[in-house]
């Protein structure tokens, strides 16, 4: 493929990946195979993909302002945990064989995807009214907060998933979304917006490390990132408008597809 054709293909893949990922799905289901398809080796594709993913952060933040209203203190608490995990994951990638998690990850992605189906029933007992979720009162600014039973699960889960996000990342979005739906907020658009911010914090720190030490393919990263930014501004709007049941099943199907893809053809 000539350079112009490659750029157009990656721009298009980035738009689809940004939309899918920021709507609750799995960005790397589209972007990582696209990088491999244009001839980039697996390790460079992995690093380039994580660097390009940073572009989803500002796009999804702009589009998710209604869902993020009143969540500032929550993000100030947990975004640094995600960033620390992302740093650890990028250090792991740069110092160990890139196939470390390849046989475990498909099962984690599958488990996270299927957990989304059970989440509404398990969370029903504590689900707040929609108005309370959408317009937090001044006294509740910074919420949602984890319940007593989740005070260990949430930080451990955020850190562990962010380590994986910095290492490889495919499927980390759906697993993080499942974690937040169970521990933080059962409202899908809100949990998805918070997920996008945590994934972005981890990706940013990892990207800095990869820019300095990793084999980033900038010719591929630039159009992919541009597409991801554009797509990520659309994803939260899709999440806001689609019925929760339809969106949940779409995310599950994306997750199962990625799990199968990673099992059949793991990253090396």
pLDDT at 26 over 80: no
175 vs 208, more confident: 208
Q: How far apart are CA 127 and CA 125, in angstroms?
A: 6
pLDDT for the residue 214:
81
Mean pLDDT calculated for residue range 26-52: 85
pLDDT for the residue 218:
95
Q: How many Cβ atoms are within 10 Å of 148's Cβ, its own excluded? A: 6
Q: Categorize the per-residue pLDDT at 71 as very low, low, confident or very high, splitting at 50, 70 and 90.
A: very high
pTM: 0.77
Q: Which residue in this structure is represented by tokens 């796009």? A: 59
Q: How far apart are CA 248 and CA 29, in angstroms?
A: 16
pLDDT for the residue 103:
67
Q: How far apart are CA 27 and CA 229, in angstroms?
A: 12
- In the DSSP assignment, the letter for residue 1 is -
User: Which residues are CB-neighbours of 211 under 8 A, at least 6 positions away?
Assistant: 51
User: Which residues are CB-neighbours of 251 under 8 A, at least 6 positions away?
Assistant: 24, 25, 26, 113, 116, 174, 177
- Tens of pLDDT along 106-146? 776 677 667 667 656 655 544 444 444 444 444 344 444 54
User: Which residues are CB-neighbours of 118 under 8 A, at least 6 positions away?
Assistant: none
Mean pLDDT calculated for residue range 150-174: 84
pLDDT at 25 over 90: no
């Amino acid at each position: 493929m000539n350079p112009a054709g490659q750029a157009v293909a990656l721009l298009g893949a980035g738009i689809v990946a940004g939309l899918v990922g920021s709507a609750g799905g799995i960005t790397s289901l589209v972007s990582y195979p696209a990088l491999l398809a244009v001839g980039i080796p697996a390790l460079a594709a992995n690093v380039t993909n994580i660097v390009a993913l940073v572009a989803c952060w500002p796009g999804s933040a702009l589009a998710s302002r209604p869902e993020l209203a009143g969540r500032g203190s929550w993000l100030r608490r947990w975004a640094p945990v995600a960033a620390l995990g992302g740093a650890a994951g990028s250090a792991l990638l740069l110092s160990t064989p890139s196939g470390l998690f390849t046989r475990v990850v498909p099962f984690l992605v599958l488990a996270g995807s299927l957990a989304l189906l059970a989440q509404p029933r398990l969370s029903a007992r504590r689900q707040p009214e929609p108005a309370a979720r959408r317009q937090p009162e001044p006294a509740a600014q910074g919420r949602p907060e984890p319940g007593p039973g989740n005070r260990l699960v949430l930080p451990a889960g955020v850190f562990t998933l962010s380590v994986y996000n910095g290492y490889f990342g495919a499927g980390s979005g759906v697993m993080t979304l499942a974690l937040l739906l169970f521990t933080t907020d059962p409202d899908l658009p809100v949990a998805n917006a918070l997920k996008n911010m945590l994934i972005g914090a981890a990706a940013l720190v990892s990207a800095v490390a990869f820019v300095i030490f990793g084999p980033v393919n900038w010719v591929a990263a630039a159009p992919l990132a541009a597409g991801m930014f554009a797509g990520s501004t659309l994803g939260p709007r899709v999440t806001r408008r689609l019925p929760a049941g339809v969106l949940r099943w779409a995310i599950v199907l994306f997750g199962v597809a990625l799990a199968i893809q990673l099992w059949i053809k793991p990253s090396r």
